[in-house]
């Protein structure tokens, strides 16, 4: 089996944690590094969260890099508590310990991203699970980076104008619209996008979630703990914006992008579009506009995921919590 080299850029909340665990469980994947960005919580919490996940999975040899603490333009928006104020449900102890600071690499995440891609040109899959600030900064420092990637997978944006960050924009994109714009204009590599609506339309049952987190493993116990008091995992109908649009169910948002990178057969339908991120307007800012009729006259197309093999995806999720 050919080994896939992967870098994960993350704003590690609960869904990112599950996505990272899915990648760690894949026998054909080698994670070269994990770069951290603000998003679900502040970047220091993100670093701690990633290190906690790697510790649970006994994979602490993977280097973790601290990256962008805010967007390219403007102040950091107030952090939402979708996954708790710390990103992992506000249930873990030792949050204020300084031990994690000694485990984070001294090299900045953007520098590490550029270095790792240059060391393995044409071989690295980059998976972006949070705001795209680190990626935008990387292409500004080294404009050749996109051409040196094997491919890019993004969880973010939308395809129907339904938003969870604003009425029309998805959370990761609205947290830094300028970076999302730069990445989708300048990363001219093979690009695959798991939009918010795609993930919600391919939701799983809460019965599956219960079976997954009740396995007798360290990974499952960890996931059960961090979701135990988090309102995002409420079963109450209509609790969140996802339920309003798509009905109740379990949606491990970021895991779809990682699963697609690990095994392309998980995605059973996709469409190629030119896209552009909207930067102006109170309602439109952060929206990812699709261009099926070629109004933008762009040569680069991205692959927008439409449907998923839920049986295969469920098996990957189940296996991700069977370690160690």
| Full DSSP string of 191-228 | EEEE-HHHHHHT-B-HHHHHHHHTSSSHHHHHHHHHTT
3-state DSSP assignment of residue 84: coil
Pick from 302, 46, 286, 116: nearest CA to 194: 302
97: left (phi over 0), alpha (psi -120 to 50) or beta: beta
Average pLDDT of span 17-43: 97
**In the numeric block, which tokens belong to residue 35?**
């770069």
CA separation for the pair 140, 186 (Å, rounded): 10
Report whether the peptide linkage leading into residue 224 is cis, meaning its omega lies within 30 degrees of zero: no
What is the pTM assigned to this prediction?
A: 0.96
Is the distance from CB of 231 to CB of 85 less than 8 angstroms? no
Confidence class of residue 93 from pLDDT cuts 50, 70 and 90?
confident
Percent helix / strand / coil, the chain, rounded to 5: 40, 20, 45
Pick from 64, 60, 145, 52: nearest CA to 93: 52
Pairing mode, strands 151-155 and 124-128: parallel
Q: Mind listing the pLDDT tens digit for each residue in 112-158?
A: 999 999 999 999 999 999 999 999 999 999 999 999 999 999 999 99
Average pLDDT of span 153-178: 95
* pLDDT on residue 1: 61
**In the numeric block, which tokens belong to residue 53?**
């996940």
Q: Give percent of the chain above pLDDT 70.
A: 97
Angle formed at CA 43 by CA 252 and CA 230, multiple of 5 degrees: 40
CATH number for the region 4-320 comes to: 3.90.245.10
Residue 66 or residue 92, greater confidence: 66
* pLDDT on residue 15: 97
Confidence class of residue 324 from pLDDT cuts 50, 70 and 90?
low
Q: Out of 9, 11, 15, 254, which one is annotated catalytic?
A: 11
Q: Mind listing the pLDDT tens digit for each residue in 232-267?
A: 888 876 667 788 788 889 999 999 999 999 999 999
Q: Assess whether 263 carries a catalytic annotation.
A: no
């Amino acid at each position: 089996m050919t080994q896939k080299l992967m870098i994960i850029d993350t704003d590690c909340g609960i869904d990112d944690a599950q996505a990272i665990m899915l990648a760690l469980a894949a026998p054909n994947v080698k994670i070269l590094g994990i770069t951290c960005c603000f998003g679900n919580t502040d970047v220091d919490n993100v670093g701690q969260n990633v290190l906690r996940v790697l510790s649970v999975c006994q994979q602490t040899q993977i280097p973790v890099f601290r990256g962008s603490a805010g967007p390219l333009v403007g102040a950091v928006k107030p952090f939402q508590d979708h996954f708790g104020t710390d990103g992992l449900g506000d249930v873990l102890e030792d949050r204020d310990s300084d031990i994690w600071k000694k485990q984070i690499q001294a090299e900045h995440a953007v520098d590490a991203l550029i270095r790792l891609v240059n060391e393995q040109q044409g071989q690295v899959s980059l998976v972006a699970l949070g705001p795209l600030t680190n990626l935008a900064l990387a292409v500004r420092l080294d404009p050749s980076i996109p051409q040196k990637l094997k491919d890019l997978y993004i969880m973010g944006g939308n395809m129907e104008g339904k938003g969870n960050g604003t009425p029309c924009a998805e959370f990761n994109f609205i947290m830094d619209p300028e970076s999302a714009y730069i990445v989708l204009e300048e990363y001219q590599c093979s690009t695959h996008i798991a939009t918010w609506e795609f993930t919600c339309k391919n939701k799983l049952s809460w019965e599956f979630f219960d079976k997954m987190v009740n396995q007798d493993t360290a990974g499952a116990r960890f996931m059960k703990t961090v979701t135990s008091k988090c309102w995002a995992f409420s079963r109450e109908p209509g609790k969140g914006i996802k339920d309003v649009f798509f009905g109740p169910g379990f949606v491990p948002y970021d895991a779809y992008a990682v699963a697609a990178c690990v095994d392309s057969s998980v995605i059973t339908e996709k469409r190629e579009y030119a896209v552009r991120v909207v930067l102006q307007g109170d309602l439109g800012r952060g929206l990812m506009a699709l261009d099926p009729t070629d109004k933008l006259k762009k040569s680069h197309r991205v692959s927008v995921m439409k449907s998923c093999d839920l049986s295969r995806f469920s098996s990957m999720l189940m296996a991700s919590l069977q370690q160690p």
